[in-house]
Amino acid sequence: MSDAVLLEVADGIATITLNRPEVRNAIDLPTALALAEALDEVDERADVAAVILTGTGSTFCAGMDLKAFAATKERPIHDRRGAFGIARQPCEKPLIAAIEGNALGGGLEIALACDLVVAAASSRLGLPEVKRGLVAAAGGVLRLPRRIPQAVAMELILTGEPLSADEARSWGLVNRVAADGESLAVARELATAIAANAPLALSAAKRIVIESADWSGDEGFDRQAAYTDPVRASADAAEGARAFVEKRAPQWTGS
């Protein structure tokens, strides 16, 4: 993994940091490949229950590194995880974006690939691609209307105007607004609450939430059984029941 993407693991939480502050954490091809590698690692590690994605410095991510693209003609796309190394296939574990500064264009598309978003109070979030003659094709026009009301998403997509952190929270795009400089700390609080829960249950619950968007109401209960039945039969489910009866914290094994 390159120095452009840092990975730290502690107390069941992985923190992935985009580390290119000199270009506002913009993503070139090597950075996209490094981010995909970090996501692969956290998916495979049994000691990781929740993941935070953040950026070094005053900007979460400026999206695609246009200067690098102009010089190399290499688009920052991973063959499996897609644009920026995350847009098409984020990690399987709960993923929280911790935003300082702006998340515009590709930066917001990376945040939209995450499950939860914490934004600093002065942050702005938006998809200005139409102002540049482009379409937010790295997940922006696909995911934003699923996260907030369609009419609101349509206005943001067609005008290219950003939301403040408070506005984004009012529409449900942002989960928590932190004081400037504190987004990572607030994201860690959220990740700690998540990581205290059973890993198999977390993984199954996330998959059902995401995949059920394409299920009909009639088939949902049948299709979720493929994920919920193994969890119900797991050692962790039995441990959760015992811990409740014995009034103690459960000891999860992920089995």
Residue 254 belongs to a domain: no
Which tens digits make up the pLDDT trace of 76-128?
A: 999 999 999 999 999 999 999 999 999 999 999 999 999 999 999 999 999 99
157 and 31 within one domain: yes
The mean pLDDT value for 59-71 works out to 93
Q: Tell me which of 8, 74, 100, 109 is the catalytic residue.
A: 109
Q: Provide the residue range defining the domain that includes 176.
A: 5-195
Same domain, 137 and 221: no
Angle at 89 between CA 197 and CA 4, to 5 degrees: 90
**115 in the same domain as 97:** yes
Question: 191 and 129, same structural domain?
Answer: yes
Mean pLDDT of 5-19: 97
Catalytic option among 22, 37, 44, 129: 129
Strand partners, 13: 10, 50
pLDDT at 2 over 80: no
* pTM for this model (two decimals): 0.95
Same domain for 119 and 16 = yes
**Same-domain pairing of 118 and 239:** no
Q: What pLDDT, in 10s, does the model give residues 224-244?
A: 999 999 999 999 999 999 999
109 part of the active site:
yes
Number of domains observed in the structure of the chain:
2
Do 139 and 70 share a structural domain?
A: yes
Mean pLDDT, rounded, for 29-43: 97
